[in-house]
Amino acid sequence: MYISLFSIWIMMYYHVFLMQGGFLLSLRYRNTNMLRLDSIPSQPTVSILIPAHNEEIVIEETLKAMINLNYPKDKLEVIIINDDSSDLTGAIVQTYAALHPYIKMVHTIPPFSGKGKSVALNRGLKHSTGEVVVVYDADNIPEPDAVQNLVHVLQKDEKTGVSVGKFRVINADRNLLTRLINIETITFQWLAQAGRWFWFKLSTIPGTNFAIRRSILDKLGGWDEKALSEDTELSIRVYNLGYHIEFFPAAVAWEQEPESWSVWWKQRTRWACGNLYVIGKHLFGFNKLENKKILIDLAYYLLTYLLFIGGLLISHVILITNLFMNLQLTSDVVFYVLFAVAFLLFVTEALLAMSLEKNQLNTKNFFTVILMYFIYSQIWLLLVVNAIFLEMKRVILQQEITWYKTQRFKSEQINQEHY
């Protein structure tokens, strides 16, 4: 019991520490108006890479968002990587490419077609020419100034290798699951992304809405094609070169999230397995890492997936078992008090994060946060256990990594009030 409590609370305290950093960062931007960037006369050429595999449901809205970007079109190229699509994705892209010369389409070819996002991105990179590479998913709708903001962050400091924007859930009000995911994404960005940037000048490249110097990608050889979490894996290698990854919340993109539990489970399992791959690839070879600061992030992933998850599972087993049989625990009261305090901290952190976004701190989200602790978070525990089993099985049996393509749903429209 004490081992489980220690495992849980060491991570709880760390999350409180990160949330304080995220809140302070939001105040810093608010008080000093840091979200307004000075005009930079020298604008580099930009290549936007968008992998697309059977994306006919969402790709047109994404292309419209590319057209509406406030960036000089003579310095912009939008490359759609048509990755073995069997639907109308290619035809839709071709229609827009015929009207806008900066929109291009490339195809993946066998045996590299349909092999996942990293393979598609590397294919697109070979056909790109921009000094800066920006990545968006095919369901993303960046706000008009998003790319400009990402690029300006890189221009301000040559040691900033990657600029990371904020993403919001476009279908947040579709059902209970999307509301839960909306809270999860907002909390993650203000707690993990903003908090780590404030305290440690660390952040993680997300799968979308980020800009990276082309010179870095060339030096690293592009994306790791074995990584399911290609974004997390790339983050480690960028830091190892001595660059920063800066979180900049003014660069906003809207994205679609899973609307069914089955799609959510498959997507999140891929993420979890991908993060476990990153831990195995870099942590156990940490002596080869030149930038030891990376250990902060690697330790966080390791503690989350092993110490924190393990502690929660042990505590759950003890709690449930003690309801049906007397385990003769000497500190029952302390155990239940700490459980209650952990719940209150969870709710407080989530609500604080929601308060940092416009129109998000409301009654509906308050009760959703409470449900999140008892439903969503507990399902996450099962998912991580399943992912650990699958990754161990893959390593032991030397199975090939397979990519799961997230199912799309009919796209939402963004109203002006979102901005």
- CA dihedral angle for residue 234, residue 235, residue 240, residue 245, rounded to 10 degrees: 140
Helix H or strand E segment including 253: strand 244-255
Cα→Cα distances 175→74, 179, 193, 290, 364, Å = 41, 6, 26, 46, 12
Predicted local distance difference test score (pLDDT) of residue 174 = 92
Asked if residue 408 has pLDDT above 90, the reply is no
Helix H or strand E segment including 216: helix 214-220
In contact, 165 and 208? CB cutoff 8 Å: no
In contact, 60 and 92? CB cutoff 8 Å: yes
15-43: pLDDT as tens digits: 899 999 999 999 888 765 565 555 555 78
Q: Does 130 or 4 have the greater pLDDT score?
A: 130
- CA dihedral angle for residue 273, residue 277, residue 279, residue 283, rounded to 10 degrees: 170
Q: Where are the domains of the chain?
A: 2-17+292-397, 21-257
Tokens 């983050």 belong to 235
In contact, 210 and 136? CB cutoff 8 Å: no
361-392: pLDDT as tens digits: 999 999 999 999 889 988 888 888 888 888 88
CATH superfamily of 21-257: Spore Coat Polysaccharide Biosynthesis Protein SpsA; Chain A (3.90.550.10)
In contact, 49 and 128? CB cutoff 8 Å: yes
> Which structure tokens are listed for 35?
């979200």
Residue 178 CB neighbour total at 10 angstroms = 22
Q: Does 397 or 63 have the greater pLDDT score?
A: 63
Asked if residue 92 has pLDDT above 90, the reply is yes
Measured in whole angstroms, how far is the alpha carbon of residue 362 from the centre of its chain? 24
